[in-house]
Amino acid sequence: MGEHHFKCFANNHLAFSYLKSECNDLWDKEFIELDETCSHKFRSKLDYTDWLIRYWQLAKGCFEPIGRHEKGKVYEIYNGVEQNQELFKIIENQAMPMICINDNDNVDFEPMKERIKQAFDKILPEKSSFEK
């Protein structure tokens, strides 16, 4: 068998499941690098991240595919309240198990911040214990 090449992995910013056995396997194979990463209080650009275990599991075929929007969806913030109505409805109707809200350099986030907060306040009116 020849070498395996991977064209690309989709990197959306939703939660992923990791198997402890796969983490242990990777740790056994790359102990020095992972141990070095753990020795830093703050991440440096040379440190490994949790994406390593994700790619490890994908490359080994150790995953179960799910529908693209079954688990959640990534929403980009656009300028203007009207352009973000789908996001507000998703939050207020709790229509997705998970969402990721991405802003970018071209968006003035301040006007959107209050409207997003209102959407979350509608479904989560009381502060949690860690917010108090």
- In degrees and rounded to multiples of 5, residue 99 shows phi and psi of -140, 155
Between the two ends of the chain, the Cα-to-Cα distance in Å is 58
- Which of these, 83, 125, 130, 132, lies nearest to 103 by C-alpha position? 83
Report d(CA 122, CA 58) in Å as an integer.
38
pLDDT in tens, the chain (132 residues): 445 566 777 777 788 888 899 999 999 999 999 999 999 889 888 899 888 999 899 888 888 877 666 788 889 888 888 889 999 999 999 999 999 998 777 888 888 889 999 999 999 999 888 887
* 9-46 confidence digits (pLDDT tens): 777 778 888 889 999 999 999 999 999 999 988 988 88
